[in-house]
Amino acid sequence: MGQALRWLVAVLVGFGLLFAAYTWIVLNWSYSEGERAGYVQKLSKKGWLCKTWEGELALVTMPGTVGEKFFFSVPDDAVAHKINESLGKRVTVTYEEHIGVPTTCFAETRHFVNNVRIIEDPAPHAPPQPAAQPSTVPPPPKQ
HSE-up of 64 (CA within 13 Å, CB side)? Answer: 0
Is residue 12 assigned to a domain? Answer: yes
Whether 57 has a pLDDT exceeding 80, the answer reads yes
CATH number reported for the structural domain that contains residue 82 in this entry = 2.40.50.140
pLDDT in tens, 82-113: 999 988 889 999 999 988 777 777 778 889 99
Name the phi and psi angles at 9, rounded to 5. -65, -40
85 versus 47: the higher-pLDDT residue is: 85
Is residue 136 assigned to a domain? Answer: no
24 and 35 co-located in one domain: no
pTM: 0.68
Question: How confident is the model at residue 125, as a pLDDT?
Answer: 56
Name the phi and psi angles at 88, rounded to 5. 85, -5
Residues spanned by the domain of 22: 1-30
25 and 36 co-located in one domain: no
Is residue 114 assigned to a domain? Answer: yes
Q: What is the DSSP string of 9-24?
A: HHHHHHHHHHHHHHHH
Is residue 52 assigned to a domain? Answer: yes
Question: How confident is the model at residue 117, as a pLDDT?
Answer: 92
Is residue 126 assigned to a domain? Answer: no
21 and 39 co-located in one domain: no
Is residue 78 assigned to a domain? Answer: yes
Is residue 130 assigned to a domain? Answer: no
22 and 83 co-located in one domain: no
18 and 81 co-located in one domain: no
15 and 40 co-located in one domain: no
Instruction: State the total domains in the chain.
Output: 2
pLDDT in tens, 9-35: 888 999 989 888 888 877 777 788 899
Average pLDDT over residues 53-78: 86
Is residue 49 assigned to a domain? Answer: yes
